[in-house]
Structure 1
Amino acid sequence: MSTGQDYHRLFHRHVAQTSPNPLGLDIVKAEGCYLYDRDGKEYLDLIGGISVCNTGHRHPRVVAAIKDQADRYLHLLVYGELIQTPQVEYAALLAGQLPATLDSVYFTNSGAEATEGAMKLAKRITGRTEIVAFNRSYHGSTQGALSIMGDEYWRNAFRPLLPGIRHVEYNTPEALAAITDRTACVIAETVQAERGVFAPQAAWLRLLRQRCDETGALLVLDEIQTGFGRTGTLWAFQAYDVIPDILLLGKALGGGLPMGAFIAHRERMWALTGDPVLGHITTFGGHPLCCAAGRASMEVLLGSGWIDEVARKEALFRRLLIHPAIKTVRSRGLLIAVEYDSFGQNKRVIDACIAAGVLTDWYLFAPHCLRIAPPLSITETQIEKACAIILSSSDFFP
């Protein structure tokens, strides 16, 4: 039987690494808002698998749905050919919670694949090739998604990338002027998450919608991190009175299993069915097990009242997170960035938090900001515990 040391060695030897120094926590169980390592140590999870576990880890209804579907069937055939009950039921549930113009769901394996599909759909509908994206935006790491990522540090090593991409500054008049009759689509996060939680002015987002209408460009809103109640409404765009032409979902969509989706009006989505036929195809997208889990998780979310509690929990975090080392706290619901002077300071706080039993992380384009994105089920007592540990971990600094 393998030991903890064996798994640590095998992890570094055979699992492809994404950084020189992974956390390397050997987690053997997760439940609710907690993770447990091989030695039995408990970690309060403040990042929820990076905004994946909105209903917590292993919610009983999600686990039951997975077991029930596993007893029926798993993979049958490539996406779209057969009527698979979990896909149909979940797509209908999603459409019922969205505006009427977002009624056709294309399930993918991940948020990055949803981005790729949306880019293709926008080009197919408009006959245009130019895409406008934003600095310090994140939409995935595949070649197309990387092309629209808003940071040259991450793009540069993989060039050449897709042509025809214009990067502009989020929430500025200049960005609006960059959208022309050559633009196929504008892809924007409703709230820029990896920038360290940067929300737009409502008036600017409405002007962005208006400019897209004027030029015939499609507006693609990325709610891969902000969807499913994360910001205090089911969808972040609801707070801005703006409806996208294409919506991107992922992360919490699968209830803890891998899933993404791009959603548009049925008439627009129909463009992928001809010239060429199979204009977008996937083998495992919309896997029945993932759809069953995702539907169960969404039903829990809709019936739990947790979304209604997000604003109160956000306010509690903000009220408690006051410390001389903390420069500011930015938040949109339970998507929170705690800003320090530098990545070095933030990393020391993160490491101290983990040692004290609180799991947190940093933001891709804001490494000096500590990430808080817990399950929406987090309690006020757990928030108080987490904040106390963050504050004590910040005492490394004068």
Structure 2
Amino acid sequence: MKQDFLKYQAQTGPTPLGIEVSHARGSYIYDLDGKSYLDFVAGVSANTLGHSHPKVVNAVQEQAASYMHVMVYGEYAQGPAVELAKLLAQQLPEPLSSTYLVNSGTEAIEGAMKLSKRATGRGEIIAAKHAYHGNTQGSMSLMGYEERKKAYRPLLPGIKFIEFNNEKDLKNITTKTAGVILETIQGGAGFIEPKNNYLQKVKKRCEEVGALLILDEIQPGFGRTGRLFGFMNYHVTPDILVMGKGMAGGMPIGAFTASYDMMAQLKEAPKMGHITTFGGHPVVAAAALATLKELTTTTLIKQTLEKEKHFRSLLVHPLIKEIRGKGLMLAILVENAEVANFLVLEGMKKGLILFWLLFETRAVRITPPLTISNEEIEKGCNTILELLNEWNNQNVN
């Protein structure tokens, strides 16, 4: 299977990890040889409830047996999508009440950018240096790394950049700005949290000049930081909220949410200001609804902060320079990229799945399912410490 994977399936990089997946349950992935891998990555923050969670599986199976795709988005009232949007509105602060369901996080970013331009009548979008919001043309235009963009230019015009957590840059948000789009916690840059009420200050500046604050919760959302959405930790409410990844327990989805009045502007002048064939797909929406119900009726979200403490208490080693992030959105920073690579590649050999961050080469991602147990945390952390000791032993001067 691996040979066919490399031959027939287009690749995203030159050296894929290449695990030949047989099945996955809970916190584990199993390969065709029966080897188990403890998953500290959760499909890059997507498998919120672990692999094959029974409530998600049941929701998918029941909905698939009832009906699947019946019409393009926004024409028919379909129970799973309606219930999902309603439950989201009940969980979100005002005025976030109207949700547009799409197929991925990057598609949701595209929709949010369009909505900010439509609502303000302006053309300028401001993003953060070292940002990552997705890889479609509009989302890539917001990326703060020229070496990743230059092969695909020309990209969208009218994009400007500010430095995350730099209050002096807020003056660059002006009456020409339609929207300021920020990751609530910068992901690819190294899981960098906002400091000194930074997001509140950005929102205040947006209000002063009539711009909209768009917060990208594609990674922090759905309980990963100890609240349903990361922005709830920082006492600020965005004008447009973007979500994806962990929203549907491993099924492909994205969404953007705003006020009813703002979102209604996409309906006319012109009609169909945003449209998708498969957005709000009933099977995917059923999975997302089951995921959201599980998160909002159990203590899983609250547990993430206790599990964070457990990780931090265990991951103490001279080669670990810092642990960034919040809840179960964590990154360990080691001495250099070589140590990070060693952890990821050798960890896989020992049955532990770790992964890199996009731009911070010294970082190793730890974003396990929210359902991970304390025993599984201890098992994986012990493997990390063993690997770091091996590195030290192999690199003694």
TM-score, normalisation: structure 2: 0.97
What is the aligned length? Answer: 392
Q: 1:247–1:264: 8 Å Cα contact kept in structure 2?
A: yes
Match for residue 376 of structure 2? 382
Matched, 1:9 2:3: yes
Stretches of structure 2 lacking an aligned partner (at least 5 in a row): none
Q: Which amino acid aligns with 2:9?
A: V
Q: 1:202–1:240: 8 Å Cα contact kept in structure 2?
A: no
**Which of 281, 286, 294 is residue 280 of structure 2 equivalent to?**
286
Match for residue 259 of structure 2? 265
Match for residue 98 of structure 2? 104
**Which of 167, 178, 187 is residue 193 of structure 1 equivalent to?**
187
**Which of 169, 178, 202 is residue 172 of structure 2 equivalent to?**
178
**Which of 137, 144, 147 is residue 143 of structure 1 equivalent to?**
137
SS in 2 for 1:234: coil
Match for residue 90 of structure 1? 84
Matched, 1:165 2:159: yes
**Which of 327, 330, 333 is residue 333 of structure 1 equivalent to?**
327
Deviation at 1:304, TM superposition (A): 2.4
Matched, 1:241 2:232: no
Q: 2:162–2:172: 8 Å Cα contact kept in structure 1?
A: yes
In angstroms, what is the RMSD of aligned CA positions? 0.9
**Which of 172, 177, 198 is residue 204 of structure 1 equivalent to?**
198
Q: Which amino acid aligns with 2:109?
A: T
Alpha-carbon distance in 1 for matches of 2:13, 2:205: 40
Q: Which amino acid aligns with 1:304?
A: T
Alpha-carbon distance in 2 for matches of 1:324, 1:201: 26
Q: Which amino acid aligns with 2:193?
A: A
Q: Which amino acid aligns with 1:73?
A: Y
Alpha-carbon distance in 1 for matches of 2:154, 2:168: 26
Match for residue 320 of structure 1? 314
Q: Which amino acid aligns with 1:91?
A: A
Deviation at 1:100, TM superposition (A): 2.2
Identical aligned pairs, as a percentage? 47
Match for residue 133 of structure 1? 127
Structure 1 segments of 4+ aligned residues over 3 angstroms from their partners: none
Q: 1:117–1:280: 8 Å Cα contact kept in structure 2?
A: yes
Match for residue 49 of structure 1? 43
Residue by residue, what CA displacement relative to the aligned partner does 1:140-188 show, whole Å, maximum 9, x if unpaired?
A: 0000000001211211111111111001100112321110000000000
**Which of 275, 283, 292 is residue 298 of structure 1 equivalent to?**
292
Q: Which amino acid aligns with 2:86?
A: A
Deviation at 1:317, TM superposition (A): 0.7
For residues 106-121 of structure 1, what are the structure 2 equivalents within 5 Å?
106-121=100-115
**Which of 19, 22, 27 is residue 16 of structure 2 equivalent to?**
22
Q: 2:217–2:241: 8 Å Cα contact kept in structure 1?
A: yes
Alpha-carbon distance in 1 for matches of 2:204, 2:59: 42
Alpha-carbon distance in 2 for matches of 1:224, 1:99: 18
Residue by residue, what CA displacement relative to the aligned partner does 1:299-352 show, whole Å, maximum 9, x if unpaired?
A: 112222111111111011111111121121112111111111222221011111
Q: 1:52–1:256: 8 Å Cα contact kept in structure 2?
A: yes
Q: Which amino acid aligns with 2:22?
A: V
Q: Which amino acid aligns with 2:317?
A: H
Alpha-carbon distance in 2 for matches of 1:104, 1:29: 36
Q: 2:89–2:97: 8 Å Cα contact kept in structure 1?
A: yes
SS in 2 for 1:339: strand
Deviation at 1:202, TM superposition (A): 4.5
SS in 2 for 1:219: strand
Alpha-carbon distance in 1 for matches of 2:263, 2:327: 31
Q: 1:245–1:264: 8 Å Cα contact kept in structure 2?
A: yes
Alpha-carbon distance in 2 for matches of 1:201, 1:298: 29
Deviation at 1:294, TM superposition (A): 0.6
SS in 1 for 2:257: strand
Q: Which amino acid aligns with 1:335?
A: M
Give the stretch that moved more between structures: 295-304 or 227-236: 295-304
**Which of 298, 301, 305 is residue 311 of structure 1 equivalent to?**
305
Alpha-carbon distance in 2 for matches of 1:178, 1:365: 25
Stretches of structure 1 lacking an aligned partner (at least 5 in a row): 1-6
Alpha-carbon distance in 2 for matches of 1:373, 1:156: 30
Alpha-carbon distance in 2 for matches of 1:25, 1:121: 40
Deviation at 1:297, TM superposition (A): 1.1
TM-score, normalisation: structure 1: 0.97
Q: Which amino acid aligns with 1:268?
A: M
Alpha-carbon distance in 2 for matches of 1:153, 1:189: 20
Q: Which amino acid aligns with 1:240?
A: Y
SS in 2 for 1:71: helix
Deviation at 1:204, TM superposition (A): 1.6
Residue by residue, what CA displacement relative to the aligned partner does 1:257-290 show, whole Å, maximum 9, x if unpaired?
A: 1000000001000111111101100000110000
Residue by residue, what CA displacement relative to the aligned partner does 1:105-154 show, whole Å, maximum 9, x if unpaired?
A: 00000000000000000000100000000011111000000000121121
Q: 2:48–2:247: 8 Å Cα contact kept in structure 1?
A: no
